[in-house]
Amino acid sequence: MNARVLVTGAAGFIGFHLSRRLLADGYTVHGIDNLNGYYDPGLKRSRLSQLEGHPAFTFQRLDLADREGVAVLFDRWPFDMVIHLAAQAGVRHSLRAPHDYADSNLLGFLNILEGCRKQQVSHLLFASSSSVYGANSRLPYSVHDPVDHPVSLYAASKRAGELMAHSYAHLYRIPSTGLRFFTVYGPWGRPDMAYFSFTQKILAGKKIPVFNHGQMRRDFTYIDDIVEAVVRLLPHAPQGQNLWPEDPASSAAPFRIFNIGNHQPVALMDFIQILEQVLQKKADLELLPMQDGDVLATYADVQELQELVDFAPRTDLAEGLSAFVDWYRSYYGVGS
């Protein structure tokens, strides 16, 4: 492709998989990450080791909150497109360390937006989250619904990022696409996610915490499906068109929002049962009340994504969890 793409959060779960796919497709990838200690930095370095041998991959350790460092990055390297995935993740962590979210998700994103403005990149794609739907009760979650009632600071920071990106699209005509990811899972995943910690605890014979007594549903989306959707969106920079009057998902500015999910929510207890079957080991459940900042269900309406890029998720949960468990056993040297 000969296009140079900046991928922020390249050592993260989605960033690693996406960078690997872009390299395979012929893009030149410049990855940045601060390799922070929110979860095991060794896992992040292991992901990077899978990328660093590729001649079209360059990596730089950089904290996005470093305004001068990000400015130098954009001064030194010309980018055709930017895929902004770096963020402080985690609903629970946002209750304990709120300033981490202001530094990374607000200030860090502002620095990226400024870089995109100076270079007038052809397309900015940025990670949002299903968490922005917050207290919304209508399912499936639609990009055409308002999202004005977040129930965690993490969700609020992601919604703020969407609004910041829209303002830059409006003021500076930076084509921007927001990606609302739904419960991403798979090999090389994040240890703070439930599927990862459940696997770890079940194999170790420890209790797994099941909140709201298991009465929740999640739209689990396999990593390869996430990557496929993002890659298909890359050449589709928004032009600016109000497709629906007063619609939150589109704008007269070059700005669009998409859900990227499996469009098939799974009950938490069914998820645990599938994981037990894959692991061939019974889980010891600790039933607990609902956690602060959590929601009962997530369910992605992906109609707009299907219409624009003919996207349809292909990986069912049993297949995806099997792939994850195979990787987990291999990476951590855990037998059956």
**Catalytic residue numbers?**
154
Residue 263 exposure: Cα atoms within 13 Å on the Cβ side: 16
Residue type, 279: L
Strands 207-211 and 284-288 turn out to be parallel
Instruction: Give dist(CA 86, CA 99) in Å, integer.
Output: 16
Query: In terms of residues, how long is the chain?
Result: 336
Instruction: Give dist(CA 320, CA 86) in Å, integer.
Output: 24
C-beta of residue 270 within 8 angstroms of C-beta of residue 220:
no
C-beta of residue 198 within 8 angstroms of C-beta of residue 279:
no
Tokens 């390869």 locate to 224
Instruction: Give dist(CA 320, CA 307) in Å, integer.
Output: 25
- Check whether the bond before 140 is cis (ω within 30° of 0): yes
Q: Please, is 84 exposed, middle or buried when counting C-beta atoms within 10 Å of its C-beta (0-12, 13-18, 19+)?
A: buried
Among 157, 136, 93, which Cα is nearest to 296's? 136
DSSP 154-217: HHHHHHHHHHHHHHHHHHH---EEEEEE--EESTT--TTSHHHHHHHHHHHT-EEEEEGGG--E
Q: What are phi and psi of 313, to 5 degrees?
A: -65, 140
Count Cβ atoms below 10 Å from residue 3 Cβ, excluding itself.
Answer: 17
Q: Which residues contact 202 (CB under 8 A, 6 or more apart)?
A: 208, 275, 276, 279, 281, 282, 283, 284
